Amino acid sequence: MSTVQTAERPTPAPASMTPEMKKAVRRTGWVRRAPLMPALIFAILVTQLPFLLTIFYSLQSWNLVRPGSSEFVGLANYVNVFADSTFRGAALRTILITGGCVLIAMLFGVLLAILLDRPFRGRGVVRTLLITPFLVMPVAGALLWKTTIFDPLFGLLNFVLSPFGVDSVAWVSQYPMAAVITALVWQWTPFMMLLVLAGLQSQGKDVLEASATDGANRWQTFRWVTLPHLRRYIELGLLLGSIYVVNTFDTIYMMTQGGPGTSTTNLPFYLYQRAFLGFDVGQAAALGVVTVIGTIIVATVAMRLIFRSFSREDS
């Protein structure tokens, strides 16, 4: 298990040091920092600079199709963002898609991990089969779900369901949200499964045996020994999964283009529409800033909580 604490804490310079000693300490500080700098500077330049620019653009009225049209408008774009009901809808749908996908994928992931955590013939093969959906290019996966599986006339789903009286359902246009979430759950279940499986396999066999000698049945052992142990793996999976799924763009672009109407438009897709179909730079930038702030607040809190729980158990 990795830790967040440092291996060897650099000692701070005590106040009683001579200037030469202080200089030496500072020099070793820079020697230590040198290997870190290229990566840190690169990360700051490529990720923070565009964000600062986004803030700058968000205060401008600027349309890409009219060059030279940019002018300072203050917070007008932000006023529009909060008055924009499509934005609020997109934010809600982002939460729904992310939450739905991550929770359902986790349920499947826990189930599959438990099934895989016992020796049986072909275990390696089944594991390999199960991780494959995560490796398929998401763009390709979305296209396949949309066509070969969900197609109203020749899709596999209608064929499989036809004995039950289901006929020619146009899944993607009638149930767009469910269709998108299904494709995403399929893609993300392997991710959750791998994390939970790692959790199960890191469990000490002695603890399980002790619980069995104490007379606990399998359900009791699972409920009172395994599940508490798995908790932080589940939390980690939910958090990391959310970070990725919140940004879902490819699946929606390929399956529904945000539609019908705006019924599957999430924030990334809405931002894309505003920037590249509306060419409204200022408005898109303001949307971006609001999105970033919202994401950072939610994610930082969750992140600190979860990684703290990981390092606590180590120490």
Partner 1 sequence: MNASTELTSGPRPAESRSGAPAGRRKQTGSQRAGGIALTTLTWVLGLAFFFPVLWMALTGFKSEAEAYSDPPTLFFVPTLEQYRSVFDRGVLPYLLNSVWATLISAILVIVLATPAAYALSIKPVKRTQDVLFFFISTKMLPVAAVIVPLYVAAQQLSLADNIWTLVILYTAMNLPIAVWMMRSFFMEVPKEMLEAARVDGATLPQMLRQVLMPVVLPGVAATALICLIFSWNEFFFAVNLTAARAATVPVFLVGFITSEGLYWAQLSAAATLASLPVILAGWAAQKQLVRGLSMGAVK
Range 16-45, binding partner 1 (CB under 8 A): 29, 32-36, 38-40, 42-43
State the pairing for strand pair 71-72/60-61.
antiparallel
| Nearest distance from C-beta of residue 6 to partner 1, angstroms | 4
Taking the C-alpha atoms of residue 72 and residue 59, their distance in angstroms, rounded to an integer, is: 6
Contact with partner 1 (CB under 8 A): which of 14, 19, 68, 122? 122
Should residue 166 be labelled a site residue for partner 1 when binding is judged by CB under 8 A? no
| Beta-bridge partner residues of 72 | 60
CB 96, CB 104: distance < 8 Å: no
| Nearest distance from C-beta of residue 221 to partner 1, angstroms | 7
| Sole window of 15-23, 98-106, 129-137, 173-181 interacting with partner 1 (rule: CB under 8 A) | 129-137
Within 142-161, the residues that bind partner 1 by CB under 8 A are: 143-149, 153-154, 156, 159
Should residue 197 be labelled a site residue for partner 1 when binding is judged by CB under 8 A? yes
| Nearest distance from C-beta of residue 173 to partner 1, angstroms | 14
Contact with partner 1 (CB under 8 A): which of 184, 230, 238, 285? 285
| Nearest distance from C-beta of residue 20 to partner 1, angstroms | 20
Taking the C-alpha atoms of residue 198 and residue 176, their distance in angstroms, rounded to an integer, is: 34
- Tell me, by CB under 8 A, how many residues bind partner 1: 122
| Nearest distance from C-beta of residue 200 to partner 1, angstroms | 11
CA distances from 128 to 79, 121, 124, 261, 301 (A): 50, 13, 6, 39, 34
Should residue 104 be labelled a site residue for partner 1 when binding is judged by CB under 8 A? no
**Beta carbons within 8 Å of 96's beta carbon, 6+ residues apart:** 177
| Nearest distance from C-beta of residue 231 to partner 1, angstroms | 13
Closest among 71, 56, 75 to 285, alpha carbons compared: 56
Looking at residue 297, the DSSP 8-state letter turns out to be H
Continuous segment of H or E residues that includes residue 71: strand 71-72
Tell me how far apart the 2 most distant CA atoms of the chain are, in Å: 87
Contact with partner 1 (CB under 8 A): which of 68, 137, 163, 277? 137
Nearer to partner 1, 64 or 177 (CB): 64
Within 67-86, the residues that bind partner 1 by CB under 8 A are: none
Within 214-273, the residues that bind partner 1 by CB under 8 A are: 214-221, 223-225, 233, 236, 240, 243, 246-247, 249-250, 253-254, 267-269, 271-272
CA distances from 61 to 66, 213, 267, 274, 282 (A): 11, 71, 21, 13, 5
Should residue 276 be labelled a site residue for partner 1 when binding is judged by CB under 8 A? yes
